[in-house]
Structure 1
């Protein structure tokens, strides 16, 4: 059995994204809802920028989120928030956190 990817399958490959020296990682794929990533964040503080709208759903852990011109808001497992395109936002994790993000 070969692990090679056929050209027709290349567009369906799972992407692996690594940020902040490996402290934030995600796997990306296409879903029936469009592009999505399933990710994990180690305890810490991070700043992200968006190029398209994002819907973030917390799977486990908690995330303190600061959107532009707003105070930090705490989100827990099963809660979600939206981030507009073209902005930066700050997050703080008090413990390791898993999330699902839909784009577009």
Structure 2
């Protein structure tokens, strides 16, 4: 297994992963995400790819086109961060999102 940065060419595999019931019920309020949400997340990741410590990586495995993904992005509030991970159901399945407020100032 290995991690690689997401690209636009990964859209179809990532979207197929996000519409798995074990994924969307945790990350997308119980309903599969619209394709535009996945596309926007990829574009945001590509736009911020030069920022140290941030990014969207795909977990590759010979047995699955896409075994999982990890996304570290800005949170909803200034200085907050969001960590999202998801695993293909065939490799255990599951997903979670964590947001932390960042350092107190």
- State the TM-score, normalizing by the size of structure 2: 0.28
Name whichever structure is richer in helix by fraction.
2
- State the TM-score, normalizing by the size of structure 1: 0.28
> Highest CA radius of gyration, 1 or 2?
1
Q: Name the structure, 1 or 2, with higher relative contact order (CA <8 Å, separation 6+).
A: 1
Name whichever structure is richer in strand by fraction.
1
